[in-house]
Chain A
Amino acid sequence: MNIIVCIKQVPNTTDVRIDPVTNTLIRDGVESVINPFDAYAIEEAVRLKERCGGKVTVLTMGPPQAENALREAISLGCDEAVLVSDRKFAGSDTWATSYTLAAAIRKIGDYDIILCGKQASDGDTAQVGPGISAHLDIPQVTYVKKIEEISAEKAAVERMTEEGYDVVETPLPCLLTVVKEINTPRMPSLKGLMRAKSAKPFKWTADDIEADPAALGLDGSPTRVIKIFTPVQRKGGEILKGDTGDISKELAELLKDMVI
């Protein structure tokens, strides 16, 4: 089974802080990490390989330093890595990003299943996974929390919903986006770390993936960011003090109108 897992390098959220004076994002010393949801996609891809045999190819689009994320994925059990990187991709929105990744996946060629995290922690759109499957015109199941059964032709998976979950059967090849509940990611193995060190990710440009230049980057993106601002930061309010019984009554009175 040939498995492709798409990942993104994102700033570590725990490091993102707002400068209280200038009210802007402090990026100095912010570490880049694999998007938290993608860690579950990587783990599920490796588990599928262990279950069904085959190969896991990890794919990312990003600046040259995104290679670090690919090496980390290899240390976790991925076999091959592809970095698509080109100045022409700068300014891509989710339309252009999914177009670019779909073009790279076509070049990788033979695949049975594509796994993505449900969304990235910096953009939070959850649009790129479904976008890739739309560009490739393959079926998708989003918010997958369990792969119940899988064979060479089809898979039965559980899709998380607001009320519970749906059991969905999909033919392969297909694209799945996964949520945290699907597994517990492993730590890198010593062998994996050695492999990551010597691994040579493929590096592809816009020309390599035979992409239409008009569909790339800022030019290929229907949406435009016209303004970025920091929201008003929420301030701490009142700390209620006193005997447990008294402050409970006080709080219940304060919130009375909201709970009736």
Chain B
Amino acid sequence: MASITILLDKCTGCMLCVKACPFGAIHMANKKAVIDMAKCTLCGACVEACKFSAIEIRRDAGPKKDLTAYKDIWVFCEQKKGAIQSISFELLGEGRKLADKLGVKLCAVILGSGIDDAAAELASRGADKIYMVDHPALKSYQDDPYTEVLVRLAEEYKPEAILCGATTIGRSLVSRVAIKIDAGLTADCTELDIDLKERLLLQTRPAFGGNIMATIVTPNHRPQMATVRHKVMKEAEIDATRKAEVIKKTYPGEVFNSRTKLLNIVEEIGETVNLSEADIIISGGRGMGKEGFALVNELAKVLGGAVGASRSAVDADWIPYSHQVGQTGKTVVPKLYIACGISGQIQHLIGMQSSKVIVAINKDPDAPIFKIATYGIVGDATEILPALTRAFRLVLNK
């Protein structure tokens, strides 16, 4: 069993570890650090913070496995109705860099039905090799057949790492796959890099609603799996001259069996722009009032953006839940986020504070939203929005 120890002869009582502990598990007694084992999760933050090497974590690592058979970086490419989703291009862009650092191939994996055309598109986005499984049962995402196929591919071809979008499909799929193939999986990464010496994928992700960042590795299991947040990595450039090796795999019929049945796919009317893929989001909160949301929609239309909302606007039934941004809604990273009549409770900020440019319009000059806004306007959003929409129309000649 793993354990953590304070080396009393080395501990100087400097309290750096107390500050570093994200779980409040360390206190001082007789000028030495003491760890409350009921609270400690062995995360290792204190080990790193200690300047005197006075904290040790021991783990039973088990026998060192031979991981040399695993190579190449894989990107699971999501398709819906045959169209490859933009997150896949972002992953191919990032995967290219990682594969080049390691000196291995970048491979795209695509599952679907009638997807021959995808090969040229994935090659143009930088894939060296494409694993394609084409079967009617894979037309739309279903947990069972997708899991089974990806498990079989990974077991046969042994990738060093698998990247996947942190989307509804991605998170449902690879969470299952990682268990089945005994792999490490890190969720919702916003930064990836390679430790060349150890050949490890360095996976950095936010936790505690973005209040802390953690870098995570998978030292002794392969593949190293990660889901990656939308809109954080840059899309791979298109180069139509690029060619890729295409491997079409077939499997016996039972591989495609699904215990669940997809009865219907409903696309909600009015939701013209997918919130998590939008470059521009106009969000409305309590300060807009029910009628005021028409103004939010209007500006979104002029800017070609998506409409978001705070929790209070959703709870008041002014707009459906699918538009909610924040802790119990969606996390978004657009280039431009315009918050209208949103005060900026921490739960809302968690969902949008990584946006590149934030504009806040609010009556209350002390509203927390102004503390993170790139540009702020103090005033009634229902009065300012029409003027702003007019101004954008002029600029855009619309």
Binding site for B on A (CB under 8 A): 11, 13-14, 16, 18-19, 22, 24-25, 27-28, 30, 36-37, 63-65, 87-88, 90-95, 98-99, 121-127, 129-131, 133-135, 139-143, 145, 156, 158-171, 174, 179-181, 213-214, 216-219, 221-231, 234-241, 244-245, 247-249, 251-256, 258-260
Asked if A131 meets B179 with Cβ closer than 8 Å, knowing A125-B187, A225-B215, A228-B212, the reply is: yes
Task: Assess whether B271 is in contact with A228, with CB atoms less than 8 Å apart.
Answer: no
Asked if A224 meets B44 with Cβ closer than 8 Å, knowing A130-B171, A134-B175, A248-B388, the reply is: yes
A113 to B24, CA, bound (A): 36
Q: List 5 A-B contacts (CB under 8 A).
A: A16-B208, A121-B209, A165-B266, A226-B48, A229-B215
Mask for B54-86, Cβ within 8 A of A = 1, else 0?
Answer: 000101111000000000000000001000000
A240 to B388, CA, bound (A): 13
A87 to B37, CA, bound (A): 8
For the complex formed, measure the closest distance between the CB of A111 and the CB atoms of chain B, giving whole angstroms.
16
When the two chains form the complex, which single residue of A37, A88, A165, A247 contacts B268, counting CB atoms closer than 8 Å? Answer: A165
Residue ID in chain B nearest A40 by CB atoms: B328
A111 to B387, CA, bound (A): 58
B350 interfacial contact with A, CB 8 Å: yes
Task: Assess whether A123 is in contact with B207, with CB atoms less than 8 Å apart.
Answer: yes
Task: Assess whether B347 is in contact with A90, with CB atoms less than 8 Å apart.
Answer: no
Mask for B252-268, Cβ within 8 A of A = 1, else 0?
Answer: 00000001111111111
Task: Assess whether B178 is in contact with A90, with CB atoms less than 8 Å apart.
Answer: no
B196 interfacial contact with A, CB 8 Å: no
Task: Assess whether A240 is in contact with B377, with CB atoms less than 8 Å apart.
Answer: yes
For the complex formed, measure the closest distance between the CB of A184 and the CB atoms of chain B, giving whole angstroms.
9
> With A124-B187, A236-B372 given, can you name 8 additional A-B contacts, CB distance below 8 Å?
A143-B168, A160-B168, A218-B2, A225-B44, A226-B216, A230-B211, A240-B375, A256-B395
For the complex formed, measure the closest distance between the CB of A84 and the CB atoms of chain B, giving whole angstroms.
14
A181 to B311, CA, bound (A): 11
B167 interfacial contact with A, CB 8 Å: yes
Task: Assess whether B259 is in contact with A236, with CB atoms less than 8 Å apart.
Answer: no
A249 to B377, CA, bound (A): 12
When the two chains form the complex, which single residue of A127, A139, A231, A258 contacts B187, counting CB atoms closer than 8 Å? Answer: A127
For the complex formed, measure the closest distance between the CB of B49 and the CB atoms of chain A, giving whole angstroms.
9
A98 to B184, CA, bound (A): 13
Task: Assess whether B215 is in contact with A94, with CB atoms less than 8 Å apart.
Answer: no
A11 to B233, CA, bound (A): 30
For the complex formed, measure the closest distance between the CB of B71 and the CB atoms of chain A, giving whole angstroms.
18
When the two chains form the complex, which single residue of B217, B220, B335, B347 contacts A226, counting CB atoms closer than 8 Å? Answer: B217
Chain A residue contacts of B178, Cβ below 8 A? 95, 127, 131, 222
B194 interfacial contact with A, CB 8 Å: no
Task: Assess whether A163 is in contact with B268, with CB atoms less than 8 Å apart.
Answer: yes
Task: Assess whether B264 is in contact with A167, with CB atoms less than 8 Å apart.
Answer: yes
For the complex formed, measure the closest distance between the CB of B97 and the CB atoms of chain A, giving whole angstroms.
20
B378 interfacial contact with A, CB 8 Å: yes
When the two chains form the complex, which single residue of B214, B275, B277 contacts A228, counting CB atoms closer than 8 Å? Answer: B214
Residue ID in chain B nearest A30 by CB atoms: B24
Task: Assess whether B213 is in contact with A231, with CB atoms less than 8 Å apart.
Answer: yes
Task: Assess whether A219 is in contact with B62, with CB atoms less than 8 Å apart.
Answer: yes
When the two chains form the complex, which single residue of B37, B38, B182 contacts A222, counting CB atoms closer than 8 Å? Answer: B182
Residue ID in chain B nearest A24 by CB atoms: B19
Asked if A238 meets B218 with Cβ closer than 8 Å, knowing A244-B387, A253-B395, the reply is: no
Chain B residue contacts of A87, Cβ below 8 A? 1, 37
Chain B residue contacts of A64, Cβ below 8 A? 38
B342 interfacial contact with A, CB 8 Å: no
Task: Assess whether A135 is in contact with B179, with CB atoms less than 8 Å apart.
Answer: yes
For the complex formed, measure the closest distance between the CB of A226 and the CB atoms of chain B, giving whole angstroms.
5
